A and B are shown apart, each in its own frame.
Chain A
């Protein structure tokens, strides 16, 4: 399998170079190659005019290339100072020279205007501060080139502003930043050059002054993409799901969801737009019964299901495509046909009474594999043997097979190829025409606009705006998601 091929990128020193592409376009693979986590099968990487072979991240760091991961790699119970020096402690005779480390960190903070209290525990500081710690960690190791993987995905708008300020400072001091994102507005505002990746290869490199967000989006998805266009409405007036004033608090008492009101009718797709981490996962898991809300009601059809267990909700006809398929959607070490049963282990064709119906499950798995084009030699291989896209097709097939009344789809096409994406969209549309209600969460704004009948914007746990998918543009939606302005 080629996750990347014919990648051609030239990054000039002292610039911010953005790499944009859809989910699954190969951005992360590329970055892992640059950071020495994969070795390329062919081609060269040149740093400051010198061909290099990066065998491991420590090789990359030795060459001055550092990476800030999307998911922070910090020890919560350590202080900022301890986290920064972890793995690279300045020692004399086996004793850590804390004073030296502190001085160096303060110097970095002063030089690049990245200030974090070095003695604060990481578990006590916010997301923006944690990200600064990650950046300081990289600078501490003397890196002159920083790779930032989706750095804004977890930030609120003010923090994004601060991050961009810091990036400008780094650039001003002659450092190079490679910035990976699929948020076009941000990329256009911060980057000096933008390289577009699609299907594992570089499409083009452009200057932000030369393109609009719309053009960039087209470059990203490619013209052949079957855009999920608007079509006849199938919305009925029969309510499938009614979420009423649902409020959810974290164990620390912070409100994760605040007074959510949401109605989904039969034949309607309600899309939720929002920057990751604004309550989408919590909303989905509350509707699925995995969290119990502080107050509010969830009504399915005409039954109040607020107190129902997850299993009862599933049996009542809620299909669930989880956001994180390897954590919530699959048993990676179980066979495909056993995964067919997961989540439906109490229902036909997987069970008869208290017993499993192995024959029924196997036969139905064969059907899903054929209908959804799951590429696998047999239904007896373990789920982890399949690629992410094929795993996703299996999950979608499974969740559609028990004739759900309501489908909760979190990023239903994340990581799948273009053809499979179109097939999944088709299935969702077909089911919608037959009266399925869908709650759609997606980071892909085109998917959201194309599939939804109604779009609601979720920001910091609240539904802050509605948008009409027939008129709204991804740019408008994007600014509504960050709280910068209302959508149409």
Chain B
């Protein structure tokens, strides 16, 4: 019981703290905090905003899980960003080129995305295993390489064509057989929920199952908790780095998919970028837990959507960026404090019970 209280205490404390910091800044900049929050809430709870929030958090969730898979074994895949963009480009290109029956068409698009994402992440794994290159460095640099490759490929006569009636260029639109219809579940909203919200749920359940229920997940967590003990227990560290990197990259490949097959149907210059870095922040916020990340993604998306009203109210919307940043920082700190407190509490409990047992043994002896 106390465990759950402790588990909830950290994020709540962190949230309260970040709201406090934000309020102070709002007051200092001459805005009444309560009014600002109320505006954000009113705007964020409108039907269109809710759909936007849920769609955005679908994407954020997959991004954060991709990052969390690596984080769980202290493998820092900072390259999720490049992996998903490259994956989305190839998936969009292939999806626009082929004609297949509906379900198969979508499947092929998703498989291409997973494979491209995994391969791109695999480069970092090979560099680490063969050459000892830190994955932090290599994945960051691979992000830039990916940007370069995309700029090269996303050109007329290569992967792209001019979009009629604009300066934009993008891949050939995916035909209806490769599109996933959305859900019209929010009354009064003009856009549907991404159909691939179900894919995000499946990714989360799969992540949870993998971590807690499979041998591979145990090896992964053991490697994260103590690499030396993991090796002594029979984990092959290089193979683990390769598998986890491929898995993380594969999931990263899915990040752009809800948008691609659910809304834009093409990879063009407007395709969202930077989701990989948002994923890092949300993975930290959700403590790499499949459930924690759900809340992290929803919160982050809600703030991203509801902040749009601030400009109209004359408040700089970067205030929300501050709130998000403080939330991540304070969650990291709060969890560390709670973790230490919890270990100390357990040690005390063990000590007390043993003392009681000894006293009992002494009394009966």
Interface residues of A (CB under 8 A from B): 1, 288, 290, 309-315, 320, 322, 327-334, 338, 341-346, 351, 354-356, 358, 375-377, 381-382, 384-387
Contacts and interface: CB of A to CB of B under 8 A. Distances in A.
A53 B213 CA distance: 52
A356 B215 contact: yes
Given A310-B234, A384-B343, A375 B213 contact: no
Contacts of B235: 310-311
Contact of B215 (A1, A329, A355, A382): A355
B218 A329 contact: no
Contact of B218 (A315, A332, A345, A385): A345
Contacts of B229: 327-331, 342
B347 A384 contact: yes
Given A355-B213, A375-B350, A385-B343, A343 B219 contact: no
Contacts of A314: 233-234
Interface stretch (B166-174, B319-327, B351-359): B351-359
Contacts of A332: 225-226
B343 A382 contact: yes
B350 A310 contact: no
A342 B233 contact: yes
Interface string B189-226: 00000000000000000000000111111110110011
B351 A1 contact: yes
B231 interface: yes
B346 interface: yes
B214 A354 contact: yes
B236 interface: yes
B365 interface: no
Nearest to B209: A355
B185 interface: no
Given A310-B231, A346-B215, A385 B236 contact: no
- Counting from the closest, the 10 A-B pairs by CB-CB distance are A311-B234, A385-B346, A343-B233, A328-B232, A310-B234, A377-B353, A331-B225, A327-B228, A385-B347, A385-B350
B318 interface: no
A320 B354 contact: no
Contacts of A387: 350
Contacts of A322: 232
A293 to B, nearest CB: 17
Interface in B218-258: 218-219, 221-222, 225-226, 228-229, 231-236
B349 interface: yes
B232 A288 contact: yes
Interface in B311-365: 343, 346-347, 349-351, 353-354, 357
B231 to A, nearest CB: 6
B232 A320 contact: yes
A97 B243 CA distance: 53
Contacts of A310: 231-236
Contacts of A382: 343, 346
Contacts of B214: 354-356
B346 A290 contact: no
A460 B60 CA distance: 57
16 contacts: A310-B231, A311-B233, A312-B234, A327-B229, A330-B226, A332-B225, A342-B222, A343-B232, A345-B218, A351-B215, A356-B215, A375-B350, A375-B353, A377-B353, A382-B343, A382-B346
A384 B216 CA distance: 24
Contacts of B357: 375
A290 B231 contact: yes
A229 B122 CA distance: 57
Given A1-B354, A331-B229, A385-B349, 15 more contacts: A310-B231, A328-B229, A329-B229, A329-B232, A334-B222, A342-B222, A342-B229, A345-B215, A345-B222, A354-B214, A356-B213, A376-B353, A381-B350, A385-B347, A385-B350
B349 A346 contact: no
A315 B233 CA distance: 11
Nearest to A312: B234
Nearest to B348: A385
Contacts of A385: 343, 346-347, 349-350
Contacts of A376: 350, 353
Nearest to B347: A385
A431 B135 CA distance: 45
A376 B352 CA distance: 10
Contacts of B225: 331-334
Contacts of B217: 356
Given A331-B229, A377-B349, A382-B346, A309 B236 contact: yes
Contacts of A309: 234, 236
A303 B341 CA distance: 49
A330 B343 CA distance: 15
A204 B343 CA distance: 38
B204 to A, nearest CB: 19
Contacts of B215: 345-346, 351, 354-356
Nearest to B355: A1
- Greatest chain A CB density within 10 A among B231, B234, B350 is at B234
B346 A381 contact: yes
A338 to B, nearest CB: 8
